[in-house]
Amino acid sequence: MEILKVEELKMHFPVYGGIFYRQIARVFAVDGVSFSIEAGKTLGLVGESGCGKSTIGRALLRLYEPTAGRISFEGKDITHLSGSSLRELRSDMQMIFQDPFESLNPRHTVGSILEEPFQIHRWGTPLERRQEVLRLLDRVGMPADSVHKYPHEFSGGQRQRIGIARAIALKPKLIICDEAVSALDVSIQSQILNLLVELQQEMGMAYLFIAHDLSVIRHVSDQIAVMYLGRIVEIAERDSLYKNPLHPYTQALIASIPVPDPRRRKTFTPLQGEVPSPLNPPPFCHFVERCAYAQAVCSQQTPQLSSIDGSDPSHRVACHFAGRLSHK
Ligand code: SF4
């Protein structure tokens, strides 16, 4: 069953300047993105910094008002929700941030931080809430005496566990993990990833897992969408994407994953150059300036996200030459 459906989502931000402080440009942060997530499953959303993936997460939680498009949660249109309906939705949809230190109030103890969601949603008696806080701490591997401490007394990994405890407090159906392990050491990253996978198996929630690193996304995702400059350029089941990446950008991202065995040769062209500004993306194929396979048509027609003949229909790519790439 589909829990989240996003159709042609656009997030454009106006840029103001000049003597009269008028709108002088627009940032095309998200430019017509569609995807869906099944209940209890994980969609990995990957791309370089500035490609718009975190903006999507914030638009889903309605921290930003979408410029265009439609967002449905459990079949209900939530694109322009506000007031009490939006508050209700937020108990079903939660977010885990990259830096929990910024999202945990430094003046509150961990006990009051974890109790807050229950108070906002008027859940239980004070005693029941305190018991629930202890249960949450135990579930994320934190000692009970953490309730009396402040966020600065913990390491980055422990703070992320507290952030996860807060996110799962109201038993949400969807959690948006925005670069949730990017700021952590590799050994701590795997502990947090394992915890997220265990919690999903126990509680059955879906994840939108946002990261810039394909090797991290691989461990947690059922399906993966690759973003470039505000658009999804390829989306597929995890194994299909890693075994048979079709878009030159996905191929370059996979080529950039470190390989422990130096005898194994990379088969794809590594990525060259910088991501163009989202203020002025190339028209038609956004990847054209960095693509080793670009032809004239790539600067004349926008490639649409579609499957290629004779291959898995759930594996879709936006490239005029997908499946038959050859150098210029
Ligand atoms: Fe490269 Fe053209 Fe495909 Fe864009 S459409 S990725 S420029 S080959």
245 lines ligand 1 (CB under 6 A): no
DSSP track, 169-237? TT--SEEEEESTTTTS-HHHHHHHHHHHHHHHHHH--EEEEEES-HHHHHHH-SEEEEEETTEEEEEEE
Categorize the per-residue pLDDT at 317 as very low, low, confident or very high, splitting at 50, 70 and 90.
very high
Which amino acid is residue 158, in one-letter code?
Answer: Q
* Two structure tokens written together for 165: 């405890």
pLDDT of amino acid 83: 84
Higher pLDDT, 177 or 267: 177
pLDDT of amino acid 129: 95
228 lines ligand 1 (CB under 6 A): no
Choose one of 229, 298, 302, 316 to mutate for the ligand 1 pocket test, by most ligand atoms within 8 angstroms of C-beta: 298
Distances (CA, A) of 299 to 8, 270, 283: 22, 22, 7
Nearest CA to ligand 1 atom 3: 319
Q: What is the overall mean pLDDT for the chain?
A: 90
30-46 confidence digits (pLDDT tens): 999 999 999 999 999 99
Mean pLDDT for 81-93 is 87
Residue 239 lies in a domain: no
pLDDT of amino acid 264: 59
Per-residue pLDDT at 263 exceeds 80: no
Residue 254 lies in a domain: yes
Residue 275 lies in a domain: yes
89-104 confidence digits (pLDDT tens): 888 999 998 877 777 8
Per-residue pLDDT at 260 exceeds 80: no
Ligand 1 centre distance from Cα of residue 60 (Å)? 29
Nearest CA to ligand 1 atom 6: 319
Contact between 113 and 104 under an 8 Å Cβ cutoff? The reply is yes
Higher pLDDT, 19 or 3: 3
Per-residue pLDDT at 28 exceeds 70: yes
Per-residue pLDDT at 326 exceeds 60: no
Give the position, in ligand 1's atom list, of the atom nearest the Cα of 247: 6
Residue 83 CB partners (closer than 8 Å, separation 6+):
none
Contact between 188 and 9 under an 8 Å Cβ cutoff? The reply is no
Mean pLDDT for 201-211 is 96
Categorize the per-residue pLDDT at 270 as very low, low, confident or very high, splitting at 50, 70 and 90.
low
Structural domain containing residue 282: 244-328
pLDDT of amino acid 269: 65
Which amino acid is residue 227, in one-letter code?
Answer: M
321 lines ligand 1 (CB under 6 A): yes
Q: How many CB atoms lie within 10 A of CB 132?
A: 17
Ligand 1 centre distance from Cα of residue 292 (Å)? 8
Per-residue pLDDT at 266 exceeds 60: no
**How many domains would you assign to the chain?**
1
pLDDT of amino acid 262: 61
Residue 182 lies in a domain: no
Residue 291 lies in a domain: yes
Give the position, in ligand 1's atom list, of the atom nearest the Cα of 293: 8
Mean pLDDT for 11-29 is 89
Residue 35 lies in a domain: no
Percent of all residues in the chain with a pLDDT value above 90, rounded to a whole number: 65
Distances (CA, A) of 151 to 113, 140, 164, 262: 9, 15, 13, 42
Ligand 1 centre distance from Cα of residue 319 (Å)? 5
207 lines ligand 1 (CB under 6 A): no
Cα–Cα dist 283/285, whole Å: 6
Mean pLDDT for 245-269 is 77
Residue 316 lies in a domain: yes
Categorize the per-residue pLDDT at 167 as very low, low, confident or very high, splitting at 50, 70 and 90.
very high
Residue 299 lies in a domain: yes
